[in-house]
Structure 1
Amino acid sequence: MGHADTLLAMGGAFVAAAFLARIGRRIGLPTIPLFILAGILLGPHTPGIVLVADPHDFEMLSALGLVLLLFYLGLEFHLDDLRAGGSRMVAAGGIYLGLNVGAGLAFGFALGWGTREALVLAGVVGISSSAIVTKLLVDLGRIGRPETRLILGVIVVEDIFLALYLAAIQPILGGADDIMEATLQVAKAFGFLLALALIARFGTRVIGKLIKVDDDELLVISFLGAAVLIAGVSEELGVADAIGAFMVGLILGGTSSGDRIRELVHPLRDAFGAIFFFVFGLSIDPGDLLAAAAPVLIAVAITMAMNIAAGVLSARLHHMGPEPGMAIATTLLARGEFALILGTMAATAGLNPKLAPFIAGYVLVLAVIGPLGAGVSDRLGRIPPIPQLTGARRHPETADSSTD
């Protein structure tokens, strides 16, 4: 692709993504599925305008988008939030992950696509979209509601699981030849992860002094360089670049410059994150989406059932009624950035080609159903069978929101 063609394609990608995102905002849909849709419509697999004939032309921009998404997630992660939540909040996160990850793993094996594919599907089905969940809570004005603290607690538990899961699955996706090699790769991954975690726990003061600068431009260059550099080192060590970026965000988020970095990284995350989702859409053939319709619908049904069960049980654990339970279930329903990250990793590792269209369809459906369900969760919580199932009180305002 020539220089002019690259500029035209990049500009067209941003404009198309922005146009569809504006439409989505008017009808209450999140931007992620619309960015993917823009890639599908303007990619080589659909008739009409082909903005990008080869998705590999945008590979570096997509990788940068992935790094920034995980870097931002690390910035937002606070282990203190988990400790402050008490054992019941940890239990709620465990219930959510246990039901959803377990169901995803069982579903993956039932499809018969392969063991590595089943392990990827466990993560795809098991972890909700932090970006969509956070946006929903703000858009629906639910930040102050009792169940919101529990939802955020589940997100924190998911973030911990995400870091460990990525570190563990990368050697598996790399296709280690034997158990010894796989064990060594996993040990190396966790060793690297532990080293970064120790820096995050004990070295933030030193790192904060090194990165502290009054000029915003220099601060952006510093944190962006650190995130990309450590992501590259991670990749060289056989650890997913995403986990390296996540850990850099975790480290820098605990420094005195953390709040400024969160503010400065927003436009970069949004812009390059949109390109990441757009490029993922470029690789999707709509015909493959139709072929994956049956497993997608089954997976969506399983996810909805597991989320309702997890929401009801978590609410009951915290002495909340059915309406907060349904709010928890529907708010955490959407899947997004992490599922697509796994899809990208699976494609790079040469896994079953059916995975990418399945993940795209699954994310598209749930990213639409989730926000719509969250908007009517209070009415869903008043459906008669729900109180009978939980035996809990109906009104969230009477809930005991105390923690251990």
Structure 2
Amino acid sequence: MGGAFLAAAVLARAGGRIGLPTIPLFILAGILLGPHTPGVVLVSDPHDLEMLSALGLVLLLFYLGLEFHLDDLKAGGRRMALAGATYLALNVGAGLGFGFALGWGTSEALVLAGVLGISSSAIVTKVLVDTGRLGNPETRPILGIIVVEDIFLALYLAALQPILSGADSLAAAVLDGAKAFGFLLLLALAARFGTKLVGRLMHTRDDELLVISFLGMAVFVAGVSEWFGVADAIGAFMVGLMLGSTSSGARIRTLVHPLRDAFGAIFFFAFGLSINPGDLPSVLWPVLLAVLLTFAMNVLAGLLAGRMYRFGRGPAANIATTLLARGEFALILATMAAGAGLDERLSPFIAGYVLLLAVLGPLAAGRAHWLARLLPRAERDSEEESGTAPPTEPVSLVKAGDAG
């Protein structure tokens, strides 16, 4: 485990010098030091890190819940919800069609719809910070799209769990789905109306007791969620949603941050351990086609969002490239698919797809002006050239994920 941490740290430090995000480097460390590559093998059996990896996944979604507020969606109004729904319709729809075109199976196509459809909020936030765009007007719709994606992810995972569990009949699948959504509804009601009670129970001035309390609550509810057929990560997300609105929410965010980073690194490292590089060539063309499809859908979504907000070509290109990266959510779906015994080609496909986009996404975002030159001229561009465009106000952000 110590070797895993050190290897991930060394690779991430080296990649950081040339501007690469950490997620693909953590995965690469697992691939290089796993049982499927020659040389040093730190962990011969990926299952040895299974519990630590699960904890990393739980903490990733718990932190996301802490950062997420329903008020963010209300404040954005209809345009933000419409931009998010448009982005999801284009990318999830394209992913579903792509999955069926591959012919790997219906369950596999549903997994691929989520993999191709949802951006990495961690990488998107890091891109906004690294490119200095937090104050840009297009940052509001970008964060709004992420918020809508988070809501969709919670519902999608809850709906997907009964399908992947392999119910014996339609009645059993419906029963499993009803049980999962019933428990999800119970968690949602607790997050909506139980915040004050939970806040009083959680309140303490002692950081040690607070860490033990929120960690115990997140992991316990995640375990109970699995019992009811809801993904453990979604149970943790709902706990984060509840605790984020309490008086201790800000302290919890600060205290859980290093835990999330440490065990999140183990989650990505463990996923890399399960990847056999020898399987990647067999899915090379599907991966490249999926990357091109995702780029095309993001450009279209960026153009449509730009028209909704009356942005010019530059902001539209920024939206398209900033949201391009895929990361933690795709790996969550890969973990679920592996546990359900789906097509073996899914894991290497998702690994190659995530690695490529996690690297290309930030690089493309830094060169969005190249894309802007190729986009069709928008109304805003004409107004700016004629000097009649109204001035844009800087964006005041409620939150910015890792930038906080």
The TM tier, using the shorter chain, reads over 0.9
Quote the Cα distance in structure 2 between the aligned partners of 1:260 and 1:303. Answer: 37
Task: Write the mapping of 1:381-400 to structure 2, written as runs, cut at 5 A.
Answer: 381=372, 383=373, 385-388=374-377, 390-393=378-381, 398=390
Quote the Cα distance in structure 1 between the aligned partners of 2:110 and 2:394. Answer: 36
Quote the Cα distance in structure 1 between the aligned partners of 2:36 and 2:160. Answer: 30
**What's the offset of the Cα at 1:379?**
3.5
1:328 equivalent in structure 2: 319
Quote the Cα distance in structure 1 between the aligned partners of 2:220 and 2:64. Answer: 17
Q: Which amino acid aligns with 1:386?
A: L
2:71 is equivalent to residue 83 of structure 1: no
The counterpart of 2:329, out of the listed 318, 334, 338, is 338
Task: Write the mapping of 1:156-171 to structure 2, written as runs, cut at 5 A.
Answer: 156-171=147-162
2:94 is equivalent to residue 103 of structure 1: yes
Secondary structure, in 3 states, of the residue corresponding to 1:86? Answer: helix
1:142 equivalent in structure 2: 133
2:164 is equivalent to residue 173 of structure 1: yes
User: Contact 1:129/1:337 (CA < 8 Å) preserved in 2?
Assistant: yes
TM-score of the superposition, structure 2-length normalised? 0.94
**What's the offset of the Cα at 1:399?**
6.7
**What's the offset of the Cα at 1:378?**
2.7
2:104 is equivalent to residue 116 of structure 1: no
Quote the Cα distance in structure 1 between the aligned partners of 2:120 and 2:185. Answer: 25
The counterpart of 1:27, out of the listed 18, 27, 37, is 18
Secondary structure, in 3 states, of the residue corresponding to 1:228? Answer: helix
The counterpart of 2:179, out of the listed 166, 188, 210, is 188
Secondary structure, in 3 states, of the residue corresponding to 1:154? Answer: helix
2:6 is equivalent to residue 11 of structure 1: no
Q: Which amino acid aligns with 2:171?
A: M
Quote the Cα distance in structure 2 between the aligned partners of 1:255 and 1:135. Answer: 26
Task: Write the mapping of 1:285-300 to structure 2, written as runs, cut at 5 A.
Answer: 285-300=276-291
Secondary structure, in 3 states, of the residue corresponding to 2:192? Answer: helix
Quote the Cα distance in structure 2 between the aligned partners of 1:116 and 1:159. Answer: 21
Quote the Cα distance in structure 2 between the aligned partners of 1:313 and 1:292. Answer: 31
Q: 1:353-383: CA deviations, max 9, x gaps? A: 00000000000000011000111113321x1
Quote the Cα distance in structure 2 between the aligned partners of 1:270 and 1:373. Answer: 25
The counterpart of 1:232, out of the listed 216, 223, 229, is 223
TM-score of the superposition, structure 1-length normalised? 0.94
2:191 is equivalent to residue 200 of structure 1: yes
User: Contact 1:321/1:387 (CA < 8 Å) preserved in 2?
Assistant: no
User: Contact 1:319/1:401 (CA < 8 Å) preserved in 2?
Assistant: no
Q: Which amino acid aligns with 1:371?
A: P
Secondary structure, in 3 states, of the residue corresponding to 1:27? Answer: coil
User: Contact 2:137/2:394 (CA < 8 Å) preserved in 1?
Assistant: no
Secondary structure, in 3 states, of the residue corresponding to 1:243? Answer: helix
Quote the Cα distance in structure 2 between the aligned partners of 1:15 and 1:399. Answer: 49
**What's the offset of the Cα at 1:24?**
1.4
Quote the Cα distance in structure 1 between the aligned partners of 2:169 and 2:291. Answer: 35
Q: 1:306 to 1:401 in 2, by over 3 A?
A: farther
In structure 1, list runs of 5 or more residues that go unmatched.
1-9
**What's the offset of the Cα at 1:393?**
2.3
2:116 is equivalent to residue 128 of structure 1: no
Quote the Cα distance in structure 1 between the aligned partners of 2:131 and 2:379. Answer: 27
1:250 equivalent in structure 2: 241
Identical columns (%): 72
Quote the Cα distance in structure 2 between the aligned partners of 1:169 and 1:399. Answer: 45
User: Contact 1:197/1:247 (CA < 8 Å) preserved in 2?
Assistant: yes
User: Contact 2:135/2:394 (CA < 8 Å) preserved in 1?
Assistant: no
The counterpart of 2:261, out of the listed 270, 285, 290, is 270
The counterpart of 1:354, out of the listed 317, 338, 345, is 345
User: Contact 1:339/1:359 (CA < 8 Å) preserved in 2?
Assistant: yes
Q: 1:289-313: CA deviations, max 9, x gaps? A: 1211110000000000000000110
2:401 equivalent in structure 1: none
Q: 1:399 to 1:161 in 2, by over 3 A?
A: farther
Secondary structure, in 3 states, of the residue corresponding to 2:17? Answer: helix
Q: Which amino acid aligns with 1:393?
A: D
Quote the Cα distance in structure 2 between the aligned partners of 1:349 and 1:50. Answer: 27
Secondary structure, in 3 states, of the residue corresponding to 1:146? Answer: coil
RMSD between aligned residues: 1.6
Number of matched residues? 391
Quote the Cα distance in structure 1 between the aligned partners of 2:307 and 2:390. Answer: 13
1:3 equivalent in structure 2: none
Quote the Cα distance in structure 2 between the aligned partners of 1:193 and 1:322. Answer: 41
Quote the Cα distance in structure 1 between the aligned partners of 2:393 and 2:164. Answer: 42
Q: Which amino acid aligns with 1:299?
A: A
Q: 1:400 to 1:141 in 2, by over 3 A?
A: closer
1:6 equivalent in structure 2: none
User: Contact 1:29/1:368 (CA < 8 Å) preserved in 2?
Assistant: yes
Quote the Cα distance in structure 1 between the aligned partners of 2:90 and 2:393. Answer: 23
Quote the Cα distance in structure 1 between the aligned partners of 2:318 and 2:181. Answer: 35
User: Contact 1:292/1:354 (CA < 8 Å) preserved in 2?
Assistant: yes
Quote the Cα distance in structure 2 between the aligned partners of 1:227 and 1:203. Answer: 15
The counterpart of 2:145, out of the listed 150, 154, 172, is 154
Q: Which amino acid aligns with 1:180?
A: A
In structure 2, list runs of 5 or more residues that go unmatched.
396-404
Q: 1:178 to 1:400 in 2, by over 3 A?
A: farther
Q: Which amino acid aligns with 1:313?
A: L
